[in-house]
Structure 1
Amino acid sequence: MRVLLLAHSFNSLTQRLFVELRERGHEVFVELDIADSVTEEAVALARPDVLVAPFLKRRIPAAVWQRLPCLVVHPGPAGDRGPAALDWALLEGRTRWGVTVLQADGEYDAGPVWAEQAFEIAPGATKSAVYRHALADAALRAVLQALQAIERDEKPRQVVPEPLRGPVPADQRRIDWSRDDAATVLCRVRSADGAPGAKAWLAGRALRLFDVHPATPHAQDADTPPGQWMARRGPAVRVRCADGAVWIGAVREDEGDGAAPTAGLKLPPTMALPEAAALPEWPQSLWTDEGTAPLDWDELRYEEFGPPGARVGWLAFDVHNGALGERASARLLAAWREACSRDTQVLVLAGGADQFCNGIHLHEIEAAARRANDSAADASMRSIEAIDDLALALIDTTDRLVVSTLRGNAGAGGCFLALAADEVWSLPGVVLNPHYRNMGNLHGSEYWTFLLPRRIGLDASASLMRGRLPMGAAEALRRGLVDAVLADEAALRAQAAALAADAALPQRIAAKAARRAADEARRPLAEYRADELAAMRRNFYGFDPSYHVARHHFVHRKPHAWTPRHLATHRR
């Protein structure tokens, strides 16, 4: 079928449908929802059999839905209506929810239903994680079911719609530290993760909270008043609730009179709140022996499994939104070096369960533009150098095999950080964006000019970087960017254990070391890095401001003025 995807932005769900529908042989076009006249023009140019709307903030124009089947993907069960269905589900503690594909008509979310799919909400999941994983899986199943029904010339079923439910009022998610226990704080923030955040007072400022995690009990909790912070760890601060405490990993202050210079940016509290940087740090070991009590929350976690001589080291880094700032890159590099001191045969860089990595932290770079004696260009270069150091450490780990596991999506520098491993394994629903140009024509670094051609060749690398399109795990496997697509995390761990126990592993490690030495003799990695960074300096400091404009628009969620031509192929 010819399918036109109409969306407010090319977000994670839209990308997932884009790659999966193309994988199944459909011809897919994308148009961003700019204006009614633009949508009508897109329909005339693309001549679709069906329009699918995965993510909209406006109604589809009547001139379109009256002449063409228009399928709206609603993140709620049949009959549910409103723009914040998933927010309400998490806020109310639902453990099972649904996705509906309905036909657009004159009523908001009230058209006849083509398909419905249920899914489970994992305990402790954030709205963003549910949206990218369980909901996206269900939405894909529902859209495919709806398209098959249309192909068979079936009719949608009528459902009595429920009353329209609007956005969650801010006061229903506002945190009252003196009354709300940790479970309430976690629930409210998780239901607002991504956007808009849960409102709370902290350090005398009105903030929106994100990336909140449970904290294990500590003796100091009893001596700390609710709403007071106690310590920092990594990017986060520990704050006392009515009972116990939570770790807060990201905050945003609304812009307005009296706001801090970094208002409007989602940042680690230790960067957004100067007082937080002065808090005492509560460090903890990177790992514990098997069978011991679990550690308190940290963005880094290391574990080992397997018998002596066939040990696997598993290093997970769960950075918010997959963004690696300077501090996070340096901290992950230190953890990698510590893991390399352990006696393991396979070392896994696991990324986060939600997202693997999306490269540099654009909000932190935007904040640098507002600081005295700093600039976005300088911060961009420091961030690139920091993630380059991390990629180099992976490449230079030649005494064991290194595996990257993509449990969540990866983009830009995060894709090439994964490729620094010897093998890359992915879960089925992962979407990769292995290119940089969508962020203002960035050249990119992370040794991609070395890593990508050695996997897929020069011509294929050039084509991939020009294409600027996302790809699913199946396509990445075919094109050589990943080496295996496995069913779930249990399968990833089993594969790692089998690799560590492989009798041929010593020969593979020796061959790897020899190849690294030969590659270095042919052309040192330092030369690849120097050439990449020279191009990046032109992006950051040169006369073309495209990167800085694109970064600013991304950070502040500025709506698109047109659909990029690599997506709107019907407009070429």
Structure 2
Amino acid sequence: MHILVVASAYNSLTQRVHAELRDRRHTVAVELALHDDSIRDAVHLHRPELVVAPMLKTAVPRDVWQSHTCLIVHPGPVGDRGPSSLDWAVHEGARSWGVTVLQAEDDMDAGAVWASVRCALPPVAKSDLYRNEVSDAAVTAVLEAVDRFASGSYTPRPQGGDTVRVRPYFRQALRRISWDSDSTDSVVRTLRAADSQPGVLDELLGAEWFLHGGHAEDTLRGRPGDLLATRAGAICRATADGAVWIPELRPRRAPGVPATFKLPATTALAGRLPVLPEIPPPLHADGPRRTWSDIRYREEGQAGFLLFTFPGGAMSTTQCRRLLDAYRVACARPTSVLVLGGARDFFSNGIHLNVIEAAADPAGESWANLNAMNDLVEAVLTTTDRLVVAAVAGNAAAGGVMLAAAADEVWCRAGAVLNPHYRLMGLYGSEYWTYSLPRRVGEAAAARLTEEALPMTAGEALRLGLVDRVVDRAPQEFAGEVTRLAARLASFPATGQRIAAKKSDRERAESIRPLAAHRGEELARMHRIIFDPTAPYHALRRSFVRKQPSGRAESAVAATPADC
């Protein structure tokens, strides 16, 4: 079937719907709804059999939905209506939710239902839920609705009036934190309901900021509202009964100035922060403590697990170096299998474009970040005394995909979306992609993936050889399944033989073409781009970070998966 996907942004869900429909042999066109007539123009251009809108903030024009069936994805159960469905669910502590695919009509979210799927809502941030549990439910519902439409015999059911609940936009006034009286749990829930957009507007150190991310702290205490400490770019702020860690801030935009963007909290507050203790993040899990650490290590028998989770999946120069230090600690342990990845959500999207954009010298910071990322990938590629497994719980892009591809095995959750390319950010690419990608998928497929620059499902990655195992588990079950699989891999008698063979294979590959040659060629080309002020990379990066139109035809496809 010929399907037109329209969306307000090419975000994570739009990418996944696009990729899943392609996997099922539909021909799919994608257009962004950037102005009032854009949907009408897209329909006229593509003449689709069906229109699907995974994420749409504007109404479908009447003449379009009267002449074409338009399926709207609403991130709420049947009868739930309004633009902030998931915000309300997280704010109210809902444990079960749903996604509804309904037909467009005059009243928003009021059309007949083509499919609805329930999903769990574990206590995590809204954007994490959106990319995982909600995304899984949405894709299931969309595919079911598309099949029903294709059958030509299904009649969508009208929504019942008695069960309808219309809720308003979740304004900042409803998100306000009272540091003097709100408990840690209340503050964390408020922050989770606003992550990653729009954040929680608050006053701090004489200015207004949007707070992004929130994690409970059970040891540090202070006067409510006071800043207590810093840790790996995050700030710790006292609540009425404890404290929370806040990893990122975004300045409130003043009239007439460029759009602001999220940064590590200590970076955003540079020049304003008082002297605070820097408390290193604990690398080793310490019982049932509630605290925040973006890098953790643990062991189960002969299997080690280096878990990391960075906001938005972006990895700055500092984060890459910290992760490399932790990787070296993990490699000093007497294990035969080392698993690299997070428990859920993003694996990695590569270099940190926001930190680069905010730097006094963006070209210099780009170069430092690239080299730090390359150092990390090189460490994985040259580990020959154990098997390394990349556990890809969620989406990955660009250098993040190449970090995973450097491992001996890549285990990917079924719902993850991979973007193994750099072109849409105007970059040639690095992270040894000219070695790892052809080694896994072949020269022809590597060239096609990097040139087409399209998102791919875990299933397609498995078929190509980019992924070795697809783990078909719910987001909350992925880490447990990976632990079981890693323990089993470590116990296999053949694992020792694989490790010995791995060392020989690395030595043979090094004699044919050293890794340094791949790195040198890639970084030479990247250096020419990064230090050329007229190169498209700089304008594309600025547009991506500040969420502005790039002016390029392929701007409908983001270089890395965006948030909800």
TM-score above 0.5: yes
Q: Aligned in 2, Cα 1:108/1:558: closer, same or farther, shift over 3 Å?
A: same
Please give the alpha-carbon distance, in whole angstroms, between the structure 1 residues aligned to 2:408 and 2:131.
Answer: 27
Pairing 1:41-56 to 2, within 5 Å after superposition? 41-56=41-56
Q: Equivalents in 2 of 1:563, 1:263: separation in Å?
A: 22
Equivalent residue for 2:327? 336
For 2:445 and 2:97, the matched residues in 1 are separated by: 42
Aligned residue in 1 for 2:190 = 188
Closer/same/farther in 2, CA of residues 187 and 302 from structure 1, 3 Å limit = same
Which stretch of the first structure deviates more once superposed, 272-281 or 499-508?
272-281
Q: Does the CA contact (< 8 Å) of 1:34 and 1:560 recur in 2?
A: no
Aligned partner of 2:509 among 509, 519, 528: 519
Letter matched to residue 454 of structure 1:
R
**SS of equivalent to 1:452:** helix
State the one-letter code of the partner of 2:306.
L
Q: Does structure 1 residue 392 correspond to structure 2 residue 382?
A: no
Query: Quick one: which of 316, 329, 335 aligns to 1:325?
Result: 316
Letter in 2 for 1:465: T
Q: Deviations over 1:212-270 (max 9, x none)?
A: 1111224xx1xx211111111112111100110111111111122799xx981201111
1:293 Cα offset (Å): 4.5
Alignment correspondent of 1:433 = 419
- Matched with 2:562 is none
Verify the 8 A CA contact 1:31 1:567 in the aligned structure 2: no
Cross-structure match for 2:242? 244
TM superposition shift of 1:36:
4.4
Deviation at 1:337, TM superposition (A): 0.6
State the 1:513 CA deviation: 0.8
Structure 1 position 288, deviation (Å): 4.5
Q: Give, in angstroms, the shift of residue 151 of structure 1.
A: 2.5
Within 5 A, what are the aligned runs for 1:144-543? 144-152=143-151, 153-160=153-160, 162=164, 164-218=166-220, 221=221, 224-256=222-254, 264-274=260-270, 275-276=272-273, 278-283=275-280, 285-288=282-285, 292-294=287-289, 296-306=291-301, 311-351=302-342, 353-368=344-359, 371=360, 375-439=361-425, 441-488=426-473, 489=478, 490-542=480-532
Q: Which moved more, 1:63-72 or 1:544-553?
A: 544-553
The residue type paired with residue 427 of structure 2 is L
Do the aligned residues in 1 keep the contact of 2:228 with 2:236 (CA within 8 Å)?
Answer: yes
Aligned counterparts, 1:22-101, within 5 A? 22-101=22-101
Q: Is the 8 A contact 1:249 1:269 kept in 2?
A: yes
Give the letter for the 2:530 counterpart.
F
Distance 1:477 1:461 in 2: 14
Structure 1 partner of 2:125 = 126
> Superposition RMSD on alpha carbons, in Å?
2.1
Letter of the 2:440 counterpart: R
- Equivalent residues of 2:434, 2:518 under 8 A apart: yes
Residue 41 to residue 295, structure 1, CA distance change in 2 (3 Å): closer
Q: Is the 8 A contact 1:468 1:566 kept in 2?
A: no
1:276 CA drift (Å)? 4.1
Q: Is the CA contact 1:469–1:566 (under 8 Å) kept in the aligned structure 2?
A: no
- Does the CA-based 8 Å contact 2:540-2:550 persist in structure 1? no
Q: Could you list the per-position Cα deviations for residues 398-436 of structure 1 after superposition, in whole angstroms to 9, with x for gaps in the alignment? A: 111111010010001100011111111111111000000
Q: Structure 2: which 5+ runs fail to align?
A: 559-564
Contact preservation (8 Å) 1:114, 1:156 = yes
Q: Aligned-pair distance for 1:205?
A: 2.2
Cα pair 2:31 2:556 within 8 Å, conserved: no
Cα shift at 1:58: 1.1
**Does 441-450 or 143-152 show the bigger shift?**
143-152
After superposing the two structures, state which structure 1 stretch, 37-46 or 64-73, moved more.
Answer: 37-46
**TM-score, structure 2 as length reference:** 0.93
For the 8 Å contact 2:234–2:264, the answer to whether it is kept is yes
Residue aligned with 1:115, SS = strand
Deviates more, 1:203-212 or 1:40-49: 40-49
Give the counterpart letter for 2:392 in structure 1: L
User: After superposition, where does 1:538-553 map in structure 2 within 5 Å?
Assistant: 538-542=528-532, 544-553=534-543
Q: Which amino acid aligns with 1:509?
A: I
Q: What amino acid maps onto 1:21 in structure 2?
A: L
| Counterpart contact for 2:75–2:99, Cα < 8 Å | yes
Task: Specify whether residues 263 and 212 from structure 1 end up closer, same or farther in structure 2 by C-alpha distance, changes over 3 A only.
Answer: farther
**Contact preservation (8 Å) 1:31, 1:563:** no
1:487 Cα offset (Å):
2.5
- Preserved CA contact (<8 Å) 2:82 2:108: yes
TM value normalised by structure 1: 0.92
d(CA) in 1 for partners of 2:351, 2:438: 22
Equivalent-residue separation in structure 2 for 1:29 and 1:265 (angstroms): 30
Q: Quote the offset at 1:294 in angstroms.
A: 4.2
What secondary structure is seen at the aligned counterpart in 2 of 1:438? helix
Residue identity opposite 2:224 in structure 1: P
Asked if the contact 1:443/1:532 (under 8 Å) is kept, the reply is yes
Between the two proteins, the alignment pairs up a number of residues equal to 549
1:208 Cα deviation from its structure 2 partner: 0.9
Q: Is the 2:304–2:330 Cα contact (8 Å) retained in structure 1?
A: yes
SS in 1 for 2:235: strand
Aligned residues of 1:174 and 1:198 also touching (Cα < 8 A): yes
Q: Return closer, same or farther for 1:226/1:48 CA change in 2, 3 Å cut-off.
A: same
After superposing the two structures, state which structure 1 stretch, 359-368 or 512-521, moved more.
Answer: 512-521
Q: 1:115 and 1:509 mapped to 2: Cα distance?
A: 48
List per-residue Cα deviations over 1:425-475 (Å, max 9, x = no partner).
Answer: 111111000000111x21111111111111122222111111100100010
- Measured at CA, do residues 511 and 337 of structure 1 come closer, stay the same or move farther in structure 2, by a change above 3 Å? same
8 Å Cα contact 1:319/1:352 also seen in 2? no
* Counterpart contact for 1:176–1:200, Cα < 8 Å: no
Unaligned runs of 5+ in 1: none
> Comparing 155-164 with 85-94, which one deviates more in the overlay?
155-164
- 2:548 counterpart letter in structure 1: K
- Whichever residue aligns with residue 181 of structure 2, its letter is R
